[in-house]
Amino acid sequence: MSQKLSPESVPSAGEMPMLGLGTWENTDHDQCADSVQTALEMGYRHIDTAQAYRNEDAVGEGIAAADVDREEVFLATKVWTSKLSHEKVIQSTNASLDALGVDYVDLLYVHWPANEYDPEETLAAFEQLYNENTIRAIGVSNFEPEHLDRAQEVLDVPVFANQVEMHPFLPQEELRAYAAENDIELVAYSPLARGKVLDDPTLGEIAEKHGVSETQVSLAWLREKGVTAIPKATSEAHIRDNWESLTLELDDEDVARIDDIETVDRQVHPDFAPDSWD
């Protein structure tokens, strides 16, 4: 039987719990709101959304419905690439707060270094929001080392987190090393490789050894790497399976076997992705 987990027992990166609920592609309003409420009442305290997901209102509804104080929830959203001029960052973030029904977000990300992104102009707006206490931390997403270098040159406020795709088929060694050297948290989206971890024989063998799912093995491996994971889940069963990954402790052999997986499979690669991804 799995040990009972409380929010206080969840590892954290600063104020950010190291397991969160992702909401990408969760566009059914009622389902999204229900999944957020379910997760929070199960013990999750980290919810991730974005302007581009078109579900901030549902996420806010789920937070309001849950029997959890807003101050206990680490809430993150992201500014889309067409909203990255100074004026649009301010306007769109205020619109996000209205949709979410909150006075602030704990973490605001630049969603991609693309389209309207200009380091000086965009990040000046983020810094303004930070100084106004509208956002509690500044994040970036899909940034490579060169983007991070420039962001850190421009900002007087530290970059708190970089959210990137990461899973056993995309281990992101370079970005993990950069994050460690620069005191930046790494947050993994698509941490289950959009379900492909379920079919990997190595992960299957380790899951069988511990009597858990391949999902839990993948999430536990990310935690061993010091990476926060935000898997999407809509059903109570999947939300709980992800949550119970926090009770799984992989041994050194397990971690080494996952590290040795040779499959490379990036799941997200839009045409505006960084050139270094090609």
Its CATH architecture, for the domain 74-262, is: Alpha-Beta Barrel (3.20)
Of 53, 109, 117, 189, which residue is the catalytic one? 53
Q: How far apart are CA 165 and CA 75, in angstroms?
A: 19
* Closest to 89 measured CA to CA, from 59, 65, 120: 120
Question: What pLDDT does 7 receive?
Answer: 78
Question: What pLDDT does 11 receive?
Answer: 74
Question: What pLDDT does 142 receive?
Answer: 98
Q: Is 130 a catalytic residue?
A: no
Question: What pLDDT does 120 receive?
Answer: 97
Question: What pLDDT does 245 receive?
Answer: 97
Question: What pLDDT does 4 receive?
Answer: 60
* Regions of the chain with pLDDT less than 70: 1-4
* pTM score, whole prediction: 0.96
Question: What pLDDT does 2 receive?
Answer: 42
Check: CB of residue 57 under 8 Å from CB of residue 48. no
Question: What pLDDT does 6 receive?
Answer: 77
Query: Could you tell me the maximum CA-CA distance found in the chain, to the nearest angstrom?
Result: 54
Q: How far apart are CA 127 and CA 134, in angstroms?
A: 10
Question: What pLDDT does 13 receive?
Answer: 75
Check: CB of residue 126 under 8 Å from CB of residue 152. no
Q: How far apart are CA 96 and CA 105, in angstroms?
A: 9
Question: What pLDDT does 1 receive?
Answer: 32
